[in-house]
Amino acid sequence: MHFFAVFLFFSLGVMGLTMLGERGYRKLREGRAFMACGWGVGLAWLANLNMWTSWGITNLRYEWVGVTLTGIAIGGTALFAHAILGFFAGLHRKLDDQAEQLERGELRRVA
């Protein structure tokens, strides 16, 4: 459980760094996946985080493979969290806008 908490906090941090990187330069939206995976791999190497050794899988031939794949997984989880956050932000906007449209259009016909 400790590893999953660290993993999710790292993913949220990578999501934030990716969003900050996109804010400065609009064309980076197309490279969001590369940027998130790059931040994830860099953070995993910096923290020496390996999810396979945390799970007790020690049969990897090279240690760097586990750390790199952990970083790619952190970047992928950050992309997934960004999509979920965007879905709920868009849903909130959509529900508010539809309610205003219904109030303007249908209430005038009834009255």
**pLDDT surpassing 60 at residue 16:** yes
User: What residue type is 26 in one-letter code?
Assistant: R
Average pLDDT, the chain: 83
The answer to whether residues 48 and 70 touch, using CB atoms and an 8 Å cutoff, is: no
What DSSP element (H or E) covers 95?
helix 63-110
Confidence category of residue 28, pLDDT binned at 50, 70, 90: low
What DSSP element (H or E) covers 109?
helix 63-110
User: How far, in whole angstroms, is CA 36 from its chain's centroid?
Assistant: 8
Q: Which domain holds residue 10?
A: 2-110
The tally of domains found in the chain comes to: 1
Q: What pLDDT does 39 receive? A: 93
Q: What pLDDT does 59 receive? A: 79
pLDDT tens, residue by residue, 50-90: 888 877 777 778 888 889 999 999 999 999 999 999 888 88
